[in-house]
Structure 1
Amino acid sequence: MTEVVAALLCRENRFLICQRPPHKKRGLLWEFVGGKLEAGESQAEALIRECREELGIEIKVGKKYMELTHIYPDITINLILFQGEIIQGEPQLLEHKDFRWITVEEIPEYTFCPADKEILSRLMEFGLQGS
């Protein structure tokens, strides 16, 4: 099983989503910023590194929002979503095709990676304040 960390970054009642590059598996689907842990990294270290590499931002990792396991045809992941806060920089497109700050009400307008479905349901039920 592959351990994956992701960040729920919020700003003014919106949260950040990123569109995967077209050449990657699940290309053009939307997701939370993050990625796989590298050998010897803590979850927080991996998330900080991924945000720096993918968006050019520095974040502070907060509490765990949700953890789940998802089985894709090519990989099984244990996905841990943390609350996070941008402490330096503005997101840049270093890895993704696009990114957006969206409201919970806008979730149905985007096609997300299947692993995020449970997280999105929780966000739609409880909102960002329930996070």
Structure 2
Amino acid sequence: MATCDDRSPLPVVVAVIMDDQGRCLITRRPQDVHQGGRWEFPGGKREPGESRDQALTRELAEELGITPLSHEPLICLTHDYPDLQVHLDVVRVTDFQGTPQGLEGQPLKWVPVQALDARNFPKANRPIIRALSLPDRYLITPDHWDPEQLRVHLECSLGDPAVSLVQLRAPQLDAGAYAALAEDALALCRRQGVRLMLNADPALARDLGADGVHLNHQRLCDWRGRPSGLASDFLVAASVHDEVSMTQARQAGCDFVVVSPVAPTRTHPGAAPLGWTRFASLADQAACPVYALGGMTPEDIPRARAHGGQGVAGIRGVWPACSSD
């Protein structure tokens, strides 16, 4: 993503190193460097001609004395500081050889994912923390389900351990019916520890105590910032279809976005699919995790991740079998 003075982003590889207890390894930056004194994920600048994996191996050997054995892409993003633009290529390291040590004198700490938000990280690291807290699939309720049908399917699906983030989308309902359904859905989700996003007025999501709001095209265009009284962990997401809406989502400070349609879909049969190359281009412009929507199934999760995505979203193909019709 170009800036007004056409600076080239500094290419950086970042490692989210996980232990067998699900904790992340973080290190503290020296006081006399850029963003000094803040906690960060290990990594560093890619040298000219280095691949991501070569840079990852070198940086972890130099900083921590370990060798990565298994890793997967987590997120790629570009962030603008007042004095520097960085492009972060972030991987999740799930297996490594050696015992991490602060070979450059940096303090180390193993921290649970849910405790990362409380640490003082550089702003560029915040989307990484968000990506760690989000699942690899995002379920969206189909338009054709009536309220009772939706309650039955939702209750059935919430028993699946893969289901942890759901969007309640019901444009066929008037405001009163939607609010009543949202209250019931929230009660069901609370019992199962599932987060529920409302595709509705942000004030309604706030007033009902939902976990977040999903902004459709019109609400994204009208967005004027987070309403007052929101919890710090309240999520703001948006639907993105092109570069213009991706820019709007960046300006809105979205916690994640959904890009569609990536592949042909029955929901919008006349829409031309973006394809994976265009999805990757849009994901690279995002400042947050990105889900692929349109013709997706759980089998597409590795492909979405390989193209810079968090995972997949689905109105039909991502729901558990008990919800299909």
TM-score with structure 2 setting the length: 0.38
Does the 8 Å CA contact 1:20/1:96 hold for their aligned counterparts?
no
CA distance in 1, matches of 2:96, 2:79: 30
* Corresponding letter in the other structure for 2:14: A
- Unmatched segments (≥5 aa) in structure 1: none
Secondary structure at the aligned position of 1:65 is classed as strand
Does the 8 Å CA contact 1:16/1:100 hold for their aligned counterparts?
yes
CA distance in 2, matches of 1:123, 1:96: 27
Which has the larger Rg?
2
The Cα shift of 1:4 comes to 0.5
- Unmatched segments (≥5 aa) in structure 2: 1-8, 137-161, 165-309, 311-325
The Cα shift of 1:61 comes to 4.9
CA distance in 2, matches of 1:71, 1:49: 25
TM-score with structure 1 setting the length: 0.89
The Cα shift of 1:36 comes to 0.6
CA distance in 1, matches of 2:61, 2:117: 28
Q: For residue 53 of structure 1, what is the aligned residue in structure 2? A: 62
Note if 1:62 corresponds to 2:71: yes
Question: Which of structures 1 and 2 has the larger relative contact order (alpha carbons within 8 angstroms, sep 6+)?
Answer: 1
The Cα shift of 1:57 comes to 1.0
Once the two structures are superposed, what CA deviation does each residue of 1:34-76 show, in whole Å capped at 9, x if it has no partner? 0110011101100110001111111125221000000112211
Alignment of 1:81-92 (within 5 A): 81-92=90-101
The Cα shift of 1:117 comes to 0.8
Q: For residue 110 of structure 1, what is the aligned residue in structure 2? A: 119
Note if 1:2 corresponds to 2:10: yes
Percent pairwise identity:
36
The change in CA–CA distance for 1:100 and 1:35 in structure 2 (over 3 A counts) is same
Q: For residue 29 of structure 1, what is the aligned residue in structure 2? A: 38
Does the 8 Å CA contact 1:19/1:99 hold for their aligned counterparts?
yes
Secondary structure at the aligned position of 1:120 is classed as helix
The Cα shift of 1:116 comes to 0.7
| Runs of 4 or more above 3 Å deviation | none
